[in-house]
Homo-oligomer: A and B are copies of this chain.
Amino acid sequence: MEESRFATRMHGMAGDAIWELLSLTQQPDVISFAGGMPSPDAFPHEILAELAGELLRNQKTTVLQYGQSEGYFPLREWIAQWVRRKGIVATPEEVIILTGSQQGIDLSGKIFLNPGDKVVVESPTYLAAINIYRMYDAAFVTAPNDDVGLDVEALEAVIAREKPKLIYLVPTFQNPTGRTLPRERRQVLGEMLTRHEIILVEDDPYTDLRYEGEAVPAIKSFDTTGQTIYLGSFSKLISPGLRVGFAIARPHILRKFVLGKQTTDAHTAMLSQALVYEFCSRGYLDEHLKRVCAMYDAQRLVMKEMIERYMPKDIRWSQPEGGMFFWGELSVGVNAKELLAKAIKEKRVAFISGESFFADGTGQNTLRLNFSNSSPEKIEAGIRALAAVFEEHM
C-alpha cells in the first residue's frame, strides 16, 4: 500500500527511537542505560498481589465493569489531596485519570491544536511529546535557555512574538537532562501565564523521586488563572505496566479532556486504577517511595562516581538531584549515535543518543544515561566499558 493512502499526519512518522531500541537492548547480555524504566526490584508486587485478589473477590463490579471516563472517583479524591504537597489546590472533579500520563500529552494536542499551531518545547525535551504534537501537525518553537535552564523572561518575548498555543515543559528532573527549574523561575512563569492566552502543559512524572535538595512547588501552584494542565503519573512510583496517570485542570478544560478520552479508550483499566488507589490510600506509597528513592540514589551515586573516575574529561555532565537520568554533552562535532553503535557492537552497552530529544534537529553530540534500571554492579561495569569506547573513538 502506498504511503499516500495514509493520513498526512502519518507521513514521515518514524517509530519512537527509544521504543525501537528497547527490543534490541533487552537481550540479556546487554547492559542498557537506554530506556527510562523503573527497576523491577522497585515493584511492590507482593502487596499488589494481595490487593488484586481482594479487589477481584470483593469489588468485582468496580474493577471489572465499565467505568466513567473521568476515572475511579476514590482515586480522583485521593490525588486531589495528595497533590497539595506540591502546592496544587484542586477538587476531585478537576482530576481525570489517564492511561499513563503520556495520554495527557496526546489529549492536550487533541483538544487544543489545529494544524500549524505553535507549541513551545524545551531543547532538548521529552521525545514522545515531540512525536505526539507532530501527529497534530504542530509547529515547534524552542524555549530559550541559559545556564540554569529555561529562561522564563526570554520565554515571554518568544510568546509575545510567536503566539504559541501551548507550552510543554518537564520542569522537574527533566527527561532527558535531569534538570529542575528553580522555584523563583516557576513563580515568574506562573505569573507570566496570566498575561497571555496560552496553556502550559506541566508534565511532572519524576518529582517524587528526589534524592537530595529541597522539593520545589509545581508551576501550577503559581498559576492563578487556571492556564496550567498538570500531568502526573504512577508509572515511576508504583508500576508503568499498570498504565495509570492523571491530569489536573480547571473544569472547562477538564471537560474537554473527558470528551477526548471518551473517543479514544473510553476509560482507563479499572483494576489498575483500583490497585493504585488501594496502594496509596492504605498508606503504602510513602514507605515504598522511601525504599525506592534509597535504591535509585545509590545507583545514581555509583554512576556519578564512575563517570567522574573514568569518562573523558571533555564531556559535560548534568548533576541530577532526582529522577532517572544523567545527560552528557560531548564536544561539538562528536556524533553520539556513532558512539552508540560502537558501544553496542564492541562492548554490549547501550544508551540513548540525544538527537531525538531535539525538535529542531540539533543535539547530535548529546546522550542520555538511565541509572534506575541497572544494579550498581552493572553501572560500574557498564560505565567503565562505555568510557573505554568514548576514549577510543572520540
User: Which of A's residues lie within 8 Å of B, judged by CB?
Assistant: 1, 5-10, 13-16, 19, 22-23, 35, 37-38, 40, 43, 45-46, 48-50, 52-53, 56-57, 60-69, 98-100, 102-103, 106, 110-114, 117, 128, 131-132, 135-136, 165, 197, 235, 239-243, 252-253, 256, 258-260, 262-272, 275
The answer to whether B56 touches A271 (Cβ under 8 A) is: no
Whether A252 contacts B1 in the complex (CB less than 8 A), given A66-B37, A110-B7, comes out as yes
The answer to whether B263 touches A135 (Cβ under 8 A) is: yes
By beta carbon, the residue of chain B nearest A117 is B7
11 A-B interface contacts by CB (under 8 A): A5-B165, A7-B113, A8-B114, A15-B259, A40-B61, A43-B64, A64-B239, A64-B240, A66-B240, A128-B262, A135-B263
**Max chain B C-beta neighbours (<10 A), residue from A6, A8, A235, A269:** A269
The answer to whether A263 touches B128 (Cβ under 8 A) is: yes
Residues in B with CB closer than 8 Å to A49 are: 52-53, 56-57
Whether A264 contacts B266 in the complex (CB less than 8 A), given A56-B49, A60-B45, comes out as no
Whether A264 contacts B106 in the complex (CB less than 8 A), given A112-B6, A269-B269, comes out as yes
CA separation between A117 and B7, bound complex, in Å? 9
Residues in B with CB closer than 8 Å to A258 are: 15
Which single member of B69, B128, B263 contacts A106 (CB below 8 Å)? Answer: B263
Whether A269 contacts B266 in the complex (CB less than 8 A), given A56-B45, A114-B7, comes out as no
Q: Which 8 pairs, one residue from A and one from B, show the smallest C-beta to C-beta distance?
A: A241-B270, A49-B56, A45-B60, A64-B239, A52-B52, A99-B265, A269-B269, A43-B64
